[in-house]
Structure 1
Amino acid sequence: MLLTSIDPFVQEFERQFDRAFRQVAGNGTGAGMPMDGIRRADDVVLRFDLPGVDPDSVEITVDRGVLSVTAHREEEIGEDERPFIRERTMGSFTRRVYLGEHLDAEAIEAAYDNGVLAIRIPVLEKARPRKVAVQAGRGRKALKG
């Protein structure tokens, strides 16, 4: 018998994150929006790098368990300016992240500061870690069921 520690949330999040990463690597979608995901006891925080993006161009939607983040970055070039190097990606960017059923999609919060978009998604109460009381003194007879 093999015993292992399993956190279904982490497994599902990693699976979805890996799938999204493969999609991004394959077709370039989302290349201008790198993301970090952090799991805490009461919530999940996603951080997206969006330097040079006007916060008014950021749109966040949730539809059937999928969080979509869309942003637009555009560079204005004057008449007397001629670019000679263009390495910064411009245009619209979209990232989609699957939200498991244990996250509260109704209570999502977002903030944009210094080019970083942070999205906080609370974990539902039923999915939060909890302590289980241990009954002492009765051995196997204490557990009935």
Structure 2
Amino acid sequence: MAMSFDPFSQLDRIAQTIFDTSRQPRMMPIDLFREGAEYVLHADLPGIDPGSVDVDVDGHLLTIRAQRSAGSHESSRWLVQERPYGAYLRQFTIGDDVDAERITASYDNGVLTVVIPIAERAKPRKIAVESATESSRDTGQKAVSA
């Protein structure tokens, strides 16, 4: 099987070398949705050591950090190296409607799941509407009609 030379991939690799961004935190793709009484965030972090994942809340800021190491391939001659390594970082502003004390996180099959419960005070609630007639019956008084 012969390998063909692709000049565009070579240019891409040269550009990555010149504009090396490995020192800057990398973005992680996410899905965020509301399901019932909670927000659910899924972040793709394949190949990440679960021990390097850090999720914290500081006021209204939810921060997710993770680290993927390059591995030890000192004696190897790279042919293609497209899988990024280094620090990953995402930050989200959360509102007053969440219960920050009950946020949970789990990591499974390369996906970090963060569950953010909605605070009781922020959940919609039904308010009973009483008529003046019902109200006067409860107090034993007669309703005054106009």
TM > 0.5: yes
What residue number does 2:60 align with?
65
Match of 2:75 in 1: 80
Amino acid at match of 1:38: F
**Counterpart in the other structure of 1:55:** 50
Instruction: Give, in angstroms, the shift of residue 136 of structure 1.
Output: 6.7
Q: Check conservation: 2:25, 2:86, Cα contact below 8 A.
A: no
The count of residues paired between Structure 1 and Structure 2 equals 110
Paired residues of 1:41 and 1:128 also in contact (CA < 8 A): no
> Radius of gyration: which is bigger?
2
1:137 shift after superposition:
9.3
What residue is the counterpart of 1:126 in the other structure?
A: 121
- Measured in 1, the distance between the counterparts of 2:45 and 2:26 equals 11
Structure 1 position 42 matched with structure 2 position 37: yes
How far apart are the structure 2 equivalents of 1:110 and 1:127? Answer: 22
2:105 corresponding residue in structure 1: 110
How far did 1:106 drift? 1.0
**Structure 1 alignment gaps of length 5 or more:** 1-27, 139-145
| SS across alignment from 2:80 | coil
Normalised TM-score (structure 1) = 0.68
Residue 134 of structure 1 and its aligned partner are, at CA, apart by 5.0
Q: Contact 2:61–2:94 (CA<8 Å) still a contact in 1?
A: yes
Kept in 2, the 8 Å contact 1:70–1:92? The answer is yes
TM-score normalised over the length of structure 2: 0.68
Q: Which residue of 1 aligns with 2:21?
A: none
Structure 2, unpaired ranges of 5+:
1-23, 134-146
Contact kept, 8 Å, 1:41 with 1:129, in 2: the verdict is no
Report the Cα distance in structure 2 between the residues aligned to 1:135 and 1:57, rounded to whole angstroms: 56
Is the CA contact 1:53–1:72 (under 8 Å) kept in the aligned structure 2?
yes
State how far apart, in whole Å, the 2-side matches of 1:57 and 1:29 are. Answer: 14
Which amino acid counterpart does residue 126 of structure 1 have in structure 2? R
Kept in 2: contact 1:112–1:118 (CA 8 A): yes
